[in-house]
Amino acid sequence: MLIEKNAKLVLIGDSVTDCGRARPVGEGLFGAIGTGYANLVNGLLDTAYPARKIRVVNMGGSGNTVKDLEERWQTDVLDLKPDWLSVMIGINDVWRQYDCPLQTETHVLPAEYAERLERLVVRTKPLLRGLVLMTPYYLEPNREDPMRKTMDRYGAIVKETATRHGTCFVDTQAAFDAYFKEYHPNNLAWDRIHPNHIGHMLLAREFLKVIEFDWKGE
């Protein structure tokens, strides 16, 4: 597995990462890492690789866009001095364009999204042992749906950024699309965004794949 012994892994993103994590830092007792994929990742790493003593911290923020991430980057990423960092952002950047179409000040359009994500990667990657970029997603199998088409555009930006900088890359949308060959999206989320335990397990599985997690452990 790629994550080394005694490494600190910070996961940052929006509500899908947040999932009720503790404030100000999502680490510690009593569900501090939240109830979502970050918690599953933590449990699986600690179960399969107990000797590595990997420290997992959840810094998700409900409602966040990439703009919000950049505003809190110093305190919520850099000051925590992670060895590995996972970033999944973009859902709200797209969603606000559809559920709040007249509030254009809440929208983060593709050019700004790409520019801000690029700045964060350039600023942070040299300080890390590893960086994982995860795409945003929309739990809608119809690729001609307007919001799905827009979300795919933002996912492509994440992929381009990951390729350009040689980071680990997770295509969450592709993973959900494979699931939709068997099940309707309502089996994962009533609002097509916030997944249940099945969706979070899927996200955790895709994250673990790219860090070369071995279910047999060591």
Letter for the amino acid at 96? R
Q: What is the pLDDT of residues 158-201, one digit of tens each?
A: 999 999 999 999 999 999 999 999 999 999 999 999 999 999 99
Burial label, 217 (beta-carbon count in 10 A; 0-12, 13-18, 19+): middle
Q: Residue 45 and residue 218: Cα distance in Å, rounded?
A: 11
Cβ contacts of 120 within 8 Å, gap of 6 or more: 66, 69, 70, 73, 87
Domain boundaries, the chain: 8-210
Enzyme catalytic residues: 15, 191, 194
Q: What is the pLDDT of residues 12-49, one digit of tens each?
A: 999 999 999 999 999 999 999 999 999 999 999 999 99
CATH architecture of the domain 8-210 equals: 3-Layer(aba) Sandwich (3.40)
pLDDT of residue 218: 83
Q: What is the pLDDT of residues 68-98, one digit of tens each?
A: 999 999 999 999 999 999 999 999 999 999 9
Q: What is the pLDDT of residues 107-137, one digit of tens each?
A: 999 999 999 999 999 999 999 999 999 999 9
Burial label, 106 (beta-carbon count in 10 A; 0-12, 13-18, 19+): middle
End-to-end Cα separation, the chain, in angstroms: 9
